Amino acid sequence: MFGGNHGGAIKTMTEIQQDTALFGMEAERGRWILVAIGLIINLCLGTIYSWSVFVTPLTAYFTETIGQTVTANEILMPFSVFLAFFAIAMPLTGRYIETLGPRKITMIGGFLTGLGWLLASTATSVQSLYLLYGVIGGLGVGIAYGVPVAVAARWFPDRRGLAVGLALLGFGFSAFVTANVAGALIGLYGVMETFRIFGGVFIVLLLLLALPLRFPPLGWTPAGWRPPALKPGEFGVCECNRSEMVRTAAFYGLWVCYFIGCLAGLMAISIAQPVGTEVVAVDAALATMLVGVFAIFNGGGRPLFGNLTDRLNPRNTAMLSFVLIAFSSVLLWVAPSVPVYILAFAILWGCLGGWLAIAPTATATFFGTCDYPRCYGLIFLAYGAGAIVGPQLAGFIRATTGTYLGVFPYVAGLAAFGFIAAFLLMRPPVPAAARVPETQAAAEE
């Protein structure tokens, strides 16, 4: 297999095993520990998804303690700013994951993430919270977030969707843990002290978790695995760099679909608790608990949709997600009730988790992994756009109509548009190498 005589082959195999050994075991087993580490890293980074638990106590803090009157839009703005800078940092960081390595990038991002939470505890106005929490914390998460995704994509060419989904499980599952922890800490110590506690814990934990992270050697594949044989009419993966990617229809289709999926999901995350209390009259304590329940669906949506993407392909999985988003939005709009609220928000949170597995897996499937961090970083801007539009659309409708209910028909309409965009555009581009014969034939004619 490796050429040369039998002894040379054994020596080469030994060298390869030494290069790829992880945690004292062969890479095929040890790589799952890297996925688990990525999951825990994302559990810390994903605490932003507990924001709806902070909305009411922050409103009370600024109104009663600081003496400032805040609107629904203003109190949701730190959430949007955080996610926007999260998305901005992703494409800017991609090239440095390659040059500096996953360990250093995670340390930098982890420190800034914790610092943002720490500094948020000193905020004296909602506007200062935009900078201290939104900008600094958002940049930190954006810097660190791409690392577990890139590491999983490199170590798992054979089960990429599942591995990426599991690594991202922590981000979606975070609110299940942190929403309840935050609620308890706010009750005991107040909202600002809760920011301070979270920040200190994140700095220590993320710096430690960064230490084992690394990429496999160039060209490494799992023992015994070969890429699946191509079917008639199919081409191999198009190994595109970022400039080549943006010249394909698949890039624009994926970007638009990702934006719509994130808009719907991030809107649901930002208003989960107030919709429960205001629209269907759920008790405030129960609404907080339900945020944690919804987080289970958000987290579980990542490996579920990642596995579906492996099995069905990104296009079909994207179309399925839009059917679910439209169904849940229309159902809540026409028949608001406690059971419908729970079902609809479970689906919306789950589909957001799904898109955070569909999009990175589709990026590797459509455009390869040679320039993956930069390619996915650019696609991830769709997440940032959804982070701004989704919560702000919800806040605007709440301010103008007095209820959050009117946002759901808009989400259903966008989901229908996303279904069409996925059907028409989310198709793998033809690799340049496969296009050469046609070009040459045309030239000869």
At residue 372, φ and ψ (nearest 5 deg) are -60, -50
Burial pattern 17-32, b for ≥16 Cβ within 10 A else e, equals eeebebeeeebeebbb
Position 381 scores a pLDDT of: 87
Position 35 scores a pLDDT of: 93
Question: Checking phi first, is residue 4 left (phi over 0); if not, alpha (psi -120 to 50) or beta?
Answer: left
Q: Count CB neighbours of 156 within 10 A.
A: 23
Name the nearest CA neighbour of 216 among 378, 20, 48, 46.
Answer: 20
Q: Which residues pair with 22 in a beta bridge?
A: 25
Q: Which residues pair with 25 in a beta bridge?
A: 22
Helix (H) or strand (E) holding 149: helix 136-155
Position 3 scores a pLDDT of: 37
* Cβ neighbourhood burial of 288 (10 Å; 0-12, 13-18, 19+): buried
Query: Cα–Cα distance between 216 and 154 in angstroms, integer?
Result: 7
Query: Cα–Cα distance between 187 and 174 in angstroms, integer?
Result: 19
For residues 388 and 336, is the Cβ–Cβ distance under 8 A? Answer: no
Position 10 scores a pLDDT of: 44
Position 113 scores a pLDDT of: 96
Residue pointed to by tokens 């289970």: 296
For residues 172 and 269, is the Cβ–Cβ distance under 8 A? Answer: no
User: Which parts of the chain have pLDDT scores under 50?
Assistant: 1-14, 16-17, 232-235, 434-445
Could you give the C-alpha distances from 290 to 80, 166, 174, in angstroms and in order? Answer: 22, 22, 13
Position 342 scores a pLDDT of: 92
Position 33 scores a pLDDT of: 93
Name the nearest CA neighbour of 57 among 143, 99, 4, 120.
Answer: 120
- Give the architecture (CATH level 2) of 24-217+241-431: Up-down Bundle (1.20)
Query: Cα–Cα distance between 184 and 177 in angstroms, integer?
Result: 11
